[in-house]
């Protein structure tokens, strides 16, 4: 089932085209990795999908309905976004940060149900021992988990994450992606912008390769070929297949 569909999407920033005529659809319950060189438009595409940026032309639909027709709170209950870097000047506790994800659901004060959802996301993300700690005292990995927990507290159907594994060590990179993968089993569509191809290869169901603001190729693992990667990044690579796993080694 198609969850999000982009049709002829153009996005320009200060006159220069960042996304050019992008048409693509994202299937429900899949983990989709958007990969491509720096400046290829990965973050921009995510931000357009959550209406943070307004495309110049084209439409984005969620369940066949234009996202422009959603009320802000309504959209926030459907699509959640985790930015790459989040700069809060006055940090809150873990619990308060996650509770903020209930904002689209809360009228005036949080109800018992909001507290319960918050607590269960805290448990899910393995943060229960630090639920009253301030988030600026956490490690990068813990903080990333807090932001994912907050996005999950929105109870979205689509989760967009910009570089969720940046700044994380190997163990936490795997942990975060495992969690995301598990979410897809519950029917949540997870779309990530990611640089680490090997990590993406291990966990993703689908790939979108972006180059210069255009979809260069898309599909399952099969599209990750020497030819495609070399064209995408302008470097030589060696692709090693081991059992059903694929590894990419860049050659200088």
Partner 1 sequence: MSKEIIQEYKQFTTRKRLFIWVCIFLLLLFVVLGLLIGASSISLNNIIHIFTGNSEDINRQIILNIRLPRVLSAVLAGTALSVSGTVMQSILRNPLGSPFTLGISNAAAFGAAFAVIILGAGSTQSNVNDAVLINNPYLITISAFFWSLVSTVIILLMARFKDASPETMILTGIILGSLFIAGTTGLEYFAEDVELSTIVFWTFGDLGRASWREFYILLAIVIPSLFYFMSNRWNIRSLNTGDETANSLGVNVEKTRIKVMLVASLTTAVAVSFFGIIAFVGLVVPHLVRKMIGSDERFLIPATALFGGVFLLASDLLARSIIAPMVLPVGILTSFIGAPLFIFLLFKGKGKGIWLR
Query: How many helices (H) and strands (E) would you count in the chain?
Result: 8, 12
Nearer to partner 1, 162 or 229 (CB): 162
Taking CA atoms, 245 is separated from 198, 202, 203, in Å, by: 9, 7, 10
Question: How far apart are alpha carbons 113 and 102 in whole angstroms?
Answer: 10
Nearer to partner 1, 158 or 208 (CB): 158
If phi > 0 it is left, if psi is from -120 to 50 it is alpha, else beta; for residue 159 that is beta
Least gap, CB of 148 to partner 1 (angstroms): 12
Least gap, CB of 144 to partner 1 (angstroms): 13
Least gap, CB of 131 to partner 1 (angstroms): 5
Nearer to partner 1, 31 or 125 (CB): 125
Nearest CA among 252, 197, 225 for reference residue 42: 197
Nearer to partner 1, 176 or 199 (CB): 176
Q: Tell me the backbone φ, ψ of residue 166, rounded to 5 degrees.
A: -60, 145
Least gap, CB of 191 to partner 1 (angstroms): 13
Least gap, CB of 34 to partner 1 (angstroms): 17
Least gap, CB of 67 to partner 1 (angstroms): 12
The DSSP element (H or E) to which 6 belongs, if any, is strand 2-13
Least gap, CB of 82 to partner 1 (angstroms): 8
Cα torsion for 35, 41, 42, 45, to the nearest 10°?
A: -130
Nearer to partner 1, 40 or 154 (CB): 154
Q: Which residues pair with 211 in a beta bridge?
A: 214
Nearer to partner 1, 47 or 211 (CB): 47
Nearest CA among 110, 199, 117 for reference residue 156: 117
Question: How far apart are alpha carbons 150 and 164 in whole angstroms?
Answer: 14
Nearer to partner 1, 24 or 133 (CB): 133
Question: How far apart are alpha carbons 152 and 116 in whole angstroms?
Answer: 13
Strands 206-211 and 189-193, how do they pair?
unpaired
- Residues lying near partner 1 in the complex (CB under 8 A) are found at 47, 50-52, 72-76, 79-81, 83, 86-93, 95-97, 100-101, 103-104, 106, 108-109, 115-116, 119-120, 122-123, 128, 131-132, 134, 136-137, 147, 151, 154
């Amino acid at each position: 089932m198609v969850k999000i569909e982009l049709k002829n999407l153009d996005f320009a920033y200060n006159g220069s085209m960042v996304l050019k005529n992008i048409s693509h659809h994202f299937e429900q319950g899949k983990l989709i990795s958007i990969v491509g060189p720096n400046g290829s438009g990965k973050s921009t595409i995510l931000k357009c999908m959550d209406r943070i940026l307004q495309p110049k032309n084209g439409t984005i639909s969620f369940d066949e309905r234009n996202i422009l027709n959603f009320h802000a709170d309504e959209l926030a209950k459907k699509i959640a976004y985790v930015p790459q870097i989040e700069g809060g000047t006055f940090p809150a506790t873990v619990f308060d940060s996650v509770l903020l994800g209930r904002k689209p659901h809360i009228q005036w004060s949080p109800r018992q149900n909001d507290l319960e959802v918050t607590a269960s996301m805290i448990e899910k993300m393995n943060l229960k021992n630090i639920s009253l700690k301030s988030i600026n005292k956490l490690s990068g990995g813990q903080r990333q988990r807090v932001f994912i927990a907050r996005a999950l507290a929105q109870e979205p159907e689509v989760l967009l994450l910009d570089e969720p594994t940046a700044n994380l060590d190997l163990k936490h990179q795997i942990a975060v992606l495992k969690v995301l993968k598990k979410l897809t089993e519950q029917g949540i569509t997870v779309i990530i912008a990611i640089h680490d191809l090997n990590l993406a290869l291990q966990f993703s169901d689908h790939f979108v390769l972006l180059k210069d603001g255009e979809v260069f190729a898309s599909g399952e693992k099969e599209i990750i070929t020497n030819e495609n990667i070399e064209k995408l990044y302008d470097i030589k690579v060696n692709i090693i297949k081991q059992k059903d796993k694929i590894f990419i080694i860049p050659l200088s």
